[in-house]
Chains A and B, each alone.
Chain A
Amino acid sequence: MSKCRYEGLIDGYLLDKLRPEERTDFEEHYFICRSCFNKMSERDEIIQVLKREGVLTAPAGQPAATERAGAWLRGAWAFLTPRRWAAVGVSAAVLILCLWLFLPRTGTVAPPLVLTGDETVRGAALTAVAPVAGVPEAPAFLEWQSAGNDMEYKVSLAGKSPLMTASTKETRLVLPEDIRARLKRGTTYTWQVQAFKADGTLTAVSGRITFKILPKS
């Protein structure tokens, strides 16, 4: 029995992947071709079951979150031959060299400081107290040294993405429980404090302080 040329469209039709004109053409076709209609009905019945939650699971060893990244990497790896890899490496090195040579050098911009005769600023940087480096548990607060009287501090905390930003007049910020709950062992987090005067002038900034919640021994 020869195969109908429309059979190849059955999956596309049932999964709504056909172009509109293909869909219309196929819909008219299965009104005429009993073979295609029967095959399509059988396939539809099976697909309805396959699409139910729990009938099928993701392939083992390929967590859903990295499926596409893995497929892309494998595709890229297969695409690049040794010669192409060498060309990519040389191009990357040349690009980095050009950037290093020709881009203007910029240092870190010091925060604008407004001083009166009576005021002193304790250096251009705020000193962080805790947490720094490794900690045994998720920290309950962030603490730093005072930058002066009547200051407002803006604190930022981030992991791989920003977690929170908050303002306080104290030299300590208690972390909300929902933020603490999100801090994971083995992950490096970064926080920073900025000090503002009452008129909104930035007067001091801490460096970016990193800490890590140590794994349980």
Chain B
Amino acid sequence: MEKNIEVQKGQSLEDAILGYRAVISFRVRKALGGSTPDWEDVVNEILMQAIEKVKSGAFRGDSSVGTFLYTITSRRIIDHIRQKTKVLRHAPEPIPFPDPHVETERGERARQIAAIVEQLKPKFRDVLYLYYYKELSREEVAQELGISPRRVSERVNYALKLVKKAVKP
């Protein structure tokens, strides 16, 4: 069952759109690469374009906010990639300046995750290695370890649950 994200009572549509920053950021980073310095600018452009459309009445609420933002995001990503290919190849790229606070927090969580994974029993580490690191299918992992595909899924899910539980929110 889909859980539609609706505008909360008392919340303006603009605020609801800004609440999608994380979702849009994820999509843009996946399309352009997290190390691309432009991704934050692209996200800001998408949000500004969406708010402008709301203010101008171009968004009439025919679709959900999520679908409206997905469409703008997809188009903006394509436009950005097309524009990038026209930029002079030898133009120097600006060096990205990541937010140190965000980077520190992200790095700390990554260290926690790595430490927890190291403490997992070998049978859980093995499935994680084959499924995520080697990117084998469930069936291939099952053949490799001599267990059923269902058991592979159980171990993967259990291992992920252990990791999520142990990482501080």
Chain A binding surface SS class: helix
Given A42-B164, A56-B128, A71-B143, the answer on whether A28 and B1 have CB atoms closer than 8 Å is: no
Provide the bound-state CA to CA distance between A6 and B66, in Å: 16
Q: Is the CB of B133 within 8 A of A45?
A: no
Interface range for B: 35 or more
Q: Which of B35-43, B83-91, B96-104, B109-117 lines the interface with chain A? A: B109-117
**Which interface residue of A47, A50, A60 has the most chain B CB atoms within 10 A?**
A50
Number of A-B pairs, beta carbon distance below 8 Å: 101
Chain B binding surface SS class: helix
Provide the bound-state CA to CA distance between A46 and B160, in Å: 8
Query: Contact string, A12-38, partner B, CB cutoff 8 A, digits 1/0?
Result: 000101000000000111111111010
Partner of B135 from the list A15, A33, A41, A74 (CB cut-off 8 Å) is A15
* Residues on B with beta carbons closer than 8 Å to the beta carbon of A160: none
Partner of B5 from the list A32, A45, A49 (CB cut-off 8 Å) is A32
Query: Contact string, B111-146, partner A, CB cutoff 8 A, digits 1/0?
Result: 001100110001001101111110100001001111
Partner of A17 from the list B1, B133, B135, B144 (CB cut-off 8 Å) is B135
Chain B contact residues, CB within 8 Å of chain A: 1-5, 20, 22-23, 26-27, 64, 66-67, 69-70, 73-74, 109-110, 113-114, 117-118, 122, 125-126, 128-133, 135, 140, 143-146, 160, 163-164
Interface range for A: 35 or more
